[in-house]
Structure 1
Amino acid sequence: MQRIAAAIGSAARDRGVGRDAIVTGLASSWEVCAGSVFPLGVRPGGGVSVDGPWVRVGPGSRAWAEAAGASPPDCSSSPGTLQQGSGSRNPAAVSLHQAGRRAQVNRSEAAGRRRRDMFWIRHSRVVMGKIVSNGLRVYRKYLAQYFIFRLGREIALAVYRAGFRLNCRLRRGDTIASYTFASFSEFRRRMNPPTSFIAPAAHLVLPPPHIIGAPSAALAMAAPIEIDVPEARIIEIAGATVVGGSSFVLAQGCAIHPDLLAPKSEESPAEIRGFIKVDAARTAMTSYFGPVARTLPRAVNLLGQSAGNYAHWMTEIAPRLAILDASSGYDDWPLLVDGWIHRNMREAVTLLSCKPRPVIPVERWQPVAVDVLAEVSATGYEPYIPHKLSNKPHPRYKNCFSRYALDALRTAAQRVAEPAQTAVPEKIYLRRGTGSTNARGLSNVDEVERIMRDSGFTLVDPGQLGFAEQVRLCRNARVIAAPVGASLANMIFAPAGATILALAPFYENDNYYYYAVLAGVLGHKLLFVLGKPSSQRAHPIHNDYHIDPGTLGEALRTCP
């Protein structure tokens, strides 16, 4: 466009006339057909005019140059085209035409380069993702049991964080900012933003799980489980910035976090990777996320630090979408979703949203500014606890899940999943596929699967199914069995009262609360079948284990 304007200006200077005269001369060999949009626009009433850098020609206008002799061009083809007349050419028109053609070629070449660049970026991300995933699996399964490798990892992370932050200060120091930590409820009380109330807080008393295979663990969880669920609300935050892969919202000098997240005692992935630095008192943080990638007038935040894990996404992200649908004020607001999540989660966003909202993927560590952000209160939470120099399990943490939000999610999922074309089994064993990167596996998996098959269970690899297929598989199940892992989150879609059989390794001070609380909130009966770990050196969470066939048989006899 700038070349076109420059060509007109140059022709005007050469001829010693005004730009209007040159534009009028262009019509001697060119015409804009009705309804066209060219760098030449339209003024009411037609005619030719110059408006800043843009040349405007009215549809169907015929302003002929004094050179005349030019026959009117043929505009019988489709509207919106610019065609050359058969009469004499004005030099300025030729120059304009050549500039336009060059601009069109340049745009096409630039678009081609962008497509090629995006292809290689996506391809490289997939490759790097697989390398990192497999590398972490090897580290956790084989190397993390040795202190020297854990020490090396901590040193490497410390050096990387220091180098990354120094580079940020030298190259983009103006983007570094400090924020004070504030919980969702604290920010709402302090700033009083526009709020939509959805559901009240609740105190729940849940039955303890039944545990087979470890008497000490059974005694540790023999008492009922009590949890306090915060109220469900939606608040609107002005001038907010969100970041892919993070649970923080940066706004008005505050780093807003879910009520269930405790910055004083928990590290986040962003902190470990150097994108934030928390002060010694752990009451404030410094952001190194860099410049904002894009700005939106309004959006709904569905980002989270553990969104890449299916179980975390189903308990911490998807229920927030169900809460959003309970309010009528956000029917057309776009959804900010982590761009690095699995395709099943992307499918779930499309199916579960009751409104035709646009979905905007946000890449990991990419800041996005939003003029007005809709933030939904937490529906569940599991702390991100990295493996430090110690190779021991983290302290017990009592999880919390919103019964209102999970019931709303289950109802939404039942609604969108089409009826199965064939009979759905009532006893399902969710086996772990060969492509799983989970470092915690059954050492006698073939024996366990044979026993489950002989007991009438249908063996299914959920990793080979889409989201809707998993919902259809589980929504009529009476018994769901599986090794502990993300696939057990599919108990959300089973009708209340189902029996959940969870195979897990036993170790002292284990945190069995996650699935115990989840099953209790959903109204299921949970039965843990614990096995002996294969190694005493490996981290318990990433350790193979052996399920005794007699213990498994005892558990199966209690199933309906």
Structure 2
Amino acid sequence: MRNPFARYPKIGLAFFYQKAQEVYTSRLKKYLRKLPLPIKKFLVSLDMRIRQIYACLYQFKISKPFISLEKFTRVYGFKIITLASKYLGVLPRPSVFPTEIGERRFISLKKFTRFCGFKIITLAPKCLVVLPRPFVFPTEMGERILLQHSRCKLPSVYVSKIRDATIYGDTNMTFAKNHIIHNDLLDPKKVFLFEEYREYITILPSSNRALWGVRDESPLFLPVAASFTDSGAKNYAHWITEVLSKICLFCAEPRFADIPIIVDNGLHENIRESLRLVVGNNREVIFLSPRHAINVGELLLTSTAGYAPAGFRKRQDPKYPLSFNTFGLQAVRDLCVKAATSSDATSRNKLIAFRRSSKTRPLLNQEEIYHVLEAYGFTLVEPGSMPFLEQIALVRSAKIIVSPVGAELTNIMFCTPGTRIIALARDQVHSGIYYWQSIAFPFGVNLLYLFGQGENSDVHSGFRVNTQDLHQVLDKFLKPNSSREKVMLSASTF
């Protein structure tokens, strides 16, 4: 394509970049009339790229947009290209500013496997999960809970063999044949990725293409391996439900007994303990750090067993699935419960309350709430400070557990059937409440949400729980003759 700037060597591209920010002002409209048509089209398209960048900056919660291209380039460390004595920051849009990696097709593992004609090995069949509407208090909040999430079809969990692939730490994206491969439950037009928040990738949803912004100049090489790196691996909830469930199904397959696996480096000790429990002592485990890569001659890639996105591009989609393959969760539960033997597990008479130290979704009046719980005989514990197997033994000995929503609540999947869970959450009813229901319900655990007043509209902001509401719920739960409706899992293959 002929360079539209060839006739204007004294004018740098940075000049047009700055002018493009004023495309819709009257001053620039007058200026555009004097320019050739190719440059007009270029400025309009460049303005659209700038709008995408501003939207991206807003999503990353950057308080002040960049003032100049020079400052933006310096702050974000983009490369500089000298052209006509002007500077040009290489922005995340290769069709305008080409980079070494370039733009690639963004494709699901299922479509890529079909495209390349690879064979798959099924680890777990498809399943249909039917979830009841969660119990809530105050009861009027239950009318606002959407029923669209109550029925979820989840794909089978399978292994695909991909030749000459590249993987990076801190992401489950896979690179092969000029494609970026994502999991089958990800819809790039609806959800944000953790990789976008961390500025690893730029997604172009309308064209199903993406630009990867990380490059390892000296990647390692392995002839064969299985990859289980994930952007959410360092979060306990995402690890147990999305990563460990896949590893458990993979390691249970005899054909993969000698295959080394790759996981993220920097995992919490409890996460490492759960990994050792599933993998055993005879399998090689390779820990891959963020922004580092491994080239694999034959990569065994396991499809997703469940997926919870980092966020939504517009508003929370009421039909977006937030559930997990029950066969994967069951495999993890059976293995961990068998290892966590405890003499206290038979009594099941403990009243336990979880403390949270996280700054995400904090319980603002937690000391007041904890005083109430202690008066009812609850024992306050902080699961994050306990070894993994001790956490499982603890929840299996519990009769009632009270906890703010958070990663610690993942342990309810290890509870004995019939255990009652009171989850403290903010009063924003959305599909996220089915996240914990999908973990509790398959194993006969009764979950009730006690809603509190949110600090602001942000779903991750702090909230306060009314102590009178807590008194009413506890009085009902602790009555000797009180009983609640028992629920059973409805899961079947189709």
TM score, norm. by length of structure 2:
0.73
SS in 1 for 2:371: helix
What does 1:152-551 align with in structure 2 at a 5 Å threshold? 152=63, 155=66, 159=72, 163-166=76-79, 175-213=100-138, 215-221=140-146, 225-279=150-204, 281-290=206-215, 291-354=217-280, 356-385=282-311, 394-396=316-318, 397-419=320-342, 426-433=349-356, 436-507=357-428, 509=430, 511-533=432-454, 535-536=455-456, 539-543=458-462, 545-551=463-469
Residue 420 of structure 1 and its aligned partner are, at CA, apart by 5.2
Distance 2:343 2:207 in 1: 51
Distance 2:464 2:412 in 1: 24
Instruction: Structure 1: state its 5+ residue gaps.
Output: 1-146
Residue 401 of structure 1 and its aligned partner are, at CA, apart by 0.6
Give CA-to-partner distance per residue, 1:163-186, whole Å, 9 cap, x none: 44436999xx98514321221221
Contact 1:225 1:517 in 2 (8 A): no
Contact 1:424 1:476 in 2 (8 A): yes
**Which structure would you say has the larger RCO, counting Cα contacts within 8 Å and 6 or more residues apart?**
2
Q: Judging changes above 3 Å, is the alpha-carbon distance between structure 1 residues 379 and 154 closer, same or farther for their aligned structure 2 residues? A: farther
**Number of aligned pairs?**
403
Contact 2:124 2:249 in 1 (8 A): no
Contact 2:172 2:228 in 1 (8 A): no
Higher mean displacement: 364-373 or 421-430: 421-430
Distance 1:348 1:359 in 2: 13
Distance 1:160 1:191 in 2: 39
Distance 2:287 2:73 in 1: 27
SS in 1 for 2:214: coil
Instruction: Structure 2: state its 5+ residue gaps.
Output: 1-57, 82-88, 91-97, 484-494
The one-letter code sitting in structure 1 at the alignment partner of 2:332 is L
The one-letter code sitting in structure 2 at the alignment partner of 1:364 is P
Residue 403 of structure 1 and its aligned partner are, at CA, apart by 0.6
Higher mean displacement: 218-227 or 444-453: 218-227
- Find the counterpart in structure 2 of residue 552 from structure 1: 470
Contact 2:145 2:429 in 1 (8 A): no
The one-letter code sitting in structure 2 at the alignment partner of 1:244 is G
Give CA-to-partner distance per residue, 1:105-147, whole Å, 9 cap, x none: xxxxxxxxxxxxxxxxxxxxxxxxxxxxxxxxxxxxxxxxxx9
Q: Judging changes above 3 Å, is the alpha-carbon distance between structure 1 residues 167 and 406 closer, same or farther for their aligned structure 2 residues? A: farther
Contact 2:345 2:393 in 1 (8 A): no
Distance 2:411 2:73 in 1: 38
Distance 2:303 2:75 in 1: 34
Q: Judging changes above 3 Å, is the alpha-carbon distance between structure 1 residues 164 and 462 closer, same or farther for their aligned structure 2 residues? A: same
Q: Judging changes above 3 Å, is the alpha-carbon distance between structure 1 residues 193 and 461 closer, same or farther for their aligned structure 2 residues? A: same
TM score, norm. by length of structure 1:
0.65
Residue 207 of structure 1 and its aligned partner are, at CA, apart by 1.3
The one-letter code sitting in structure 2 at the alignment partner of 1:540 is V
